[in-house]
Amino acid sequence: MTRPSVRVRRAVAGDEREILRMIVALATFERAGEAVEATEESLAALMFGDDPNVFADIAEVDGRAVGLAVWFLNFSTWTGRHGVYLEDLFVDPDARRQGVAQALFGALAQEAARRGCARIDCAVLDWNRSAMDFYESLGARRSEGWQPWRLDGAALAALAAG
């Protein structure tokens, strides 16, 4: 069996339906499908408006969207440079083991190099061994010692109200 060819392209207006489909599919895998408040409209406004700062890459096999990377630029005070933050990486279950995730990550590495970024960062759920194995196979490592913290909801609103 020959391996199907994977094409990675930057998402454009009109892709928001497929993007949302894959965001929900990933969140469902992450046991949080109901957590997705994003809509096709909110995604299109942020990704396809003037001067967007949220980006999506779509992987296609035989012209069908089967993979998604959503990313934005972060910043490190240590490097003094932008980096790439990979917010979502997803491949449809029936399109796995064909190099789709590798193609998406490779395109992202090229984009990072083009922009002079020193790093690609992401977050992995601590039970998602297949994601860790994939990132390790690329040479990524866990950022040991750092804990993510968050302020949201009523606590954030109360602080904003002063």
| Residues assigned a catalytic role | 135
5 binds its own copies (CB under 8 A): no
CB neighbour list of residue 39: distance below 8 Å, 6 or more residues apart: 20
CB neighbour list of residue 138: distance below 8 Å, 6 or more residues apart: 102, 105
50 binds its own copies (CB under 8 A): no
Nearer to its own copies, 94 or 152 (CB): 152
Shortest Å, Cβ 4 to its own copies:
19
- Residues 89 and 101 sit within 8 Å (Cβ to Cβ): yes
State the amino acid at position 37 in one-letter form. Answer: E
Question: In this structure, what are the phi and psi dihedrals at residue 64, rounded to the nearest 5 degrees?
Answer: -105, 135
Q: Which range touches its own copies (CB under 8 A), out of 1-9, 57-65, 91-99, 102-110? A: 102-110
* Per-residue three-class SS string for 38-77: CCHHHHHHHHCCCCCCCEEEEEEECCEEEEEEEEEEEEEC
Among positions 108-127, residues that touch its own copies (CB under 8 A) are 109-110, 112-113, 118-127
Shortest Å, Cβ 130 to its own copies:
13
Q: Which of 51, 94, 97, 133 binds its own copies (CB under 8 A)?
A: 51
Shortest Å, Cβ 160 to its own copies:
4
The half-sphere exposure of 132 on its side-chain side, counting CA atoms within 13 A, is: 9
**Residues in the site for its own copies, rule: CB under 8 A?**
23, 26-27, 32, 35-39, 42-43, 46, 51, 53-54, 70, 72-82, 85, 87-88, 105-106, 109-110, 112-113, 118-127, 132, 135, 138-143, 145-152, 154-160, 162
